[in-house]
Structure 1
Amino acid sequence: MEIIGMKERNTPVEGMRGIAAVMVVLSHFMVAFYPAAYWGDDAMSHIANGLDIKLSQSPFSIFYAGNFGVCLFFVIGGFGIASQFFGGGYKGVRRIITNRFLRLFIPVLLANGLCLVMMKMGYITAVSVSETTGSSWLRGVYSFEADWRSWLFDSYYRVMFCGDSVYNSAFWTIAYSLYGSFLVALIVVIWGGIRERWIIYAITCVVLWSMGTQGTINCNYFVAFIIGGMIADIKIHFQLKLKKIYGILLLVISCLLADYPIGVAPTNMYRFLDIGNRAAFLWHILGAGLMIFTIINFEESGRILGSRGMQFLGKISFSVYLIHMQVLGSFSTFLFQKMFESGISYSVSFTGTVALSLVLIVGIGWAVYEIIERRINKILNYMYFRVFQSERTVKN
């Protein structure tokens, strides 16, 4: 079973990758236009009865559970690397790891370059619109002086090594994807062939969780990659098939864990899961792992996640991740402000903005995938096989 850069893909996982991307995109729209739905702050509310405040701890928040979506990406990343090893040995893993840095860095450099150009041309309107929405997050995402030096520094150093970015607030995850891929590859290559590898998985998870945050890197997130690797191990070696009742039950549990609020201390049923300031990370990581485990072992999930629409979203998910913040900071904020100033209600202005923005994001994401992402992958694979000629027998 091969995930990254291969023709044969696990279709439920690919579909879930698309859903995760949508979660992240919607989370940024919500925190930009309805910040109370994230932070639970009365001062940020835009609905008379405080419905947006209630949403911050509601099961409906799963539709914009951005941190959970990120955890899904991380679990899928670990699953993909380990699947390459357990399904085909060292060669597939070696190629992925060799290409990984440039596979991430080149698109990041181009996406940040687009943001630089847009800021210089005055197309980014997020800061001014934040006065209307009351979102401190939106006010801060583009409040810096853009120039080519900061573009290069941010793209190469801050994004790739520090898990941070001023040009694109979504790019904090890139460093985790880089380090997490290396970590899972190291573990499966060294210990993947022995029965005691489960002890290594467990020890690694405990160590990573105990490390907490080191500098700008939250080591807790790397547990998601290890869990993804464990799920791949189970899938390859045990071939489990969940009965319908168990599959549905596990999906419900994973969705409930996904809804654990991250922007506000829970006061509803989730208060019983509040184990401290890292509770959201724990439950989101475990929920993401449980969800991926369930969908790959639950045949019914493939009927939905394997549909053409879901597979399309999964295919362009990285490209959508690359460009959605530029759309949000320019087109979306501009359109919302114009609609709201023309007398249209706040909620209708938001709904219209999100609907049109999603169409634009998907369209641009598809174009970026076809024109840039696919070609980068093709070039990197070509270069890899030119340098490592002994591995030309590995199929793309």
Structure 2
Amino acid sequence: MRGICCFIVIIDHCINFYKPDIRFTGMSGVGGEFRRLIAWTPLNIIYSGIAPVCIFFILSGFVLSLKFNQSHDNKIIFSGVVKRYPRLILPILASMIIMYCVYFLLYHYTGYNMNLTFWEAITQALYFAPFEHTALTNYALWTISYEMYGSFLVFALLSFFGSHKYRILFYSIVFLFLYINNSFYSLFVFGMILSDMFVHGKCSFTAYARIIFLVLGIIFVTTPYQRDGVELYRGMYSYISYFDGVEYKTLYQLFMLTGSMLLFCSLCGSNIAELILNKKPFQYLGKISFPLYVMHATILTVVTWVLKNTVSEVSLTNFLVTFFGTVVLCFMISSLFEKYIDVPAIKISSKLSKKLSEKYF
């Protein structure tokens, strides 16, 4: 699931960089009709990059609490806290150093300046990405600060309430507070709740309920994002105009939170979903998903420069060829990154947590 979500994020970013007008709804002719068909229906899920991020956050809450929910061993919480920073930041640090080197060579040989110093690459990786909600040179890393704080929120709730008889009630109070405030952090807590229910056999939805969750979830998460060239309140999403007293950005965030939770519920514990997602292509995609996420910005920057200096106007054919080339390149580099950087980072963080656990437990 994580791999599929990451792939959708890459499609989103490829369109942003290579051919933004693929989303434009005001164009004429057959191309315009085709664009509107996608933009104003759930088909736009293929390039809607925010919903996958919401799924990432639910997955984190679900997975980080899973082992504790199975064993109620406090060592797991301690281990999770110790591992989280190095597990995330070591690959991010490597990706930022690679980004700096690539940008340095790009500037040296072409004069194309991305304005990234070595010190900025290091500080963005070690501090700004995990601890500040701020724009970064590697734009995809805006999620990491949410991941970091969301992870610690999960561990804090587990340590306070994880073994309590009424833990679901306590989790739900925290969840509702965050959800009412339209916070991404509500998704981490939702993942925790679902994980607890899953472990204790309470996450069994009927087939009809799953279908309803799936349909409503897709409708909500494909709500058009507010951006240049995209007309809002149109097509299937004209119903949003009934909420014209609420700022669109606020509504959009609420639909993303709600839709992603419904989608996750439709898949969690589903035999069909498990059968599909256990296929080798999806397993491979999941394995390289984090390297793919942290590395694709560097790759897209270089490919964008090549594309803009090769053709004066990017046609649909140019876009498709460039997109498939980008995907192949991303997969190749991410596979190497996963083998030589991501896996060692996991081993280092695990060894660190093991040593500290043996010392303090």
Q: Same fold judged by TM-score > 0.5?
A: yes
1:268 aligns with 2:235: yes
Match of 2:331 in 1: 362
SS at match of 2:234: coil
Matches within 5 A, 1:275-354: 275-276=246-247, 277-330=249-302, 332-337=303-308, 340-341=311-312, 346-354=315-323
Contact 1:243 1:298 in 2 (8 A): no
Matching residue within 41, 48, 51 for 1:65? 48
Distance 2:111 2:181 in 1: 36
Distance 1:260 1:168, change over 3 A: same
Cα distance per residue 1:162-184 (max 9 Å; x no partner) = 13343200000001101001101
Matches within 5 A, 1:151-162: 151-162=121-132
Matching residue within 146, 155, 178 for 1:208? 178
Gaps of 5+ in 1: 1-15, 129-142, 213-219
Gaps of 5+ in 2: none
Matches within 5 A, 1:5-84: 16-38=1-23, 40=24, 42=26, 49=32, 51-52=34-35, 55-84=38-67
Contact 2:133 2:145 in 1 (8 A): yes
Contact 2:51 2:260 in 1 (8 A): yes
Cα distance per residue 1:344-382 (max 9 Å; x no partner) = x61000000111111111111111111111011112212
Distance 2:360 2:286 in 1: 28
Contact 2:136 2:142 in 1 (8 A): no
Equivalent residue letter for 1:186: A
Aligned length, in residue pairs: 351
Moved more, 83-92 or 96-105: 83-92
Distance 2:119 2:200 in 1: 49
Equivalent residue letter for 2:80: I
Distance 2:114 2:81 in 1: 34
Distance 2:122 2:340 in 1: 22
Match of 1:216 in 2: none
Contact 2:213 2:265 in 1 (8 A): no
Match of 1:113 in 2: 97
Root mean square deviation, CA, Å: 2.9
Q: After the TM superposition, list the runs of 4 or more consecutive aligned residues in structure 1 that deviate by more than 6 angstroms.
A: 123-128
Match of 2:86 in 1: 102
Distance 1:127 1:164, change over 3 A: farther
Equivalent residue letter for 1:337: K
Distance 1:29 1:377 in 2: 29
SS at match of 2:32: coil
Distance 2:255 2:56 in 1: 15
Distance 1:46 1:115 in 2: 40
Contact 2:194 2:203 in 1 (8 A): no
Match of 1:177 in 2: 147
Distance 1:21 1:362 in 2: 12
SS at match of 2:271: coil
Moved more, 309-318 or 236-245: 236-245
Equivalent residue letter for 1:76: L
TM-score, normalising length: structure 1: 0.80
Contact 1:78 1:229 in 2 (8 A): yes
Distance 2:39 2:109 in 1: 26
Distance 1:269 1:125 in 2: 48
Moved more, 230-239 or 46-55: 46-55
Match of 2:158 in 1: 188
Distance 1:187 1:125, change over 3 A: farther
Cα distance per residue 1:37-94 (max 9 Å; x no partner) = 55x4759x99853643553333111012110000000000000122122112222232
Contact 2:25 2:35 in 1 (8 A): no
Distance 1:244 1:120 in 2: 54
Distance 1:229 1:84 in 2: 11
Match of 1:254 in 2: 217
Contact 2:25 2:32 in 1 (8 A): no
SS at match of 1:333: helix
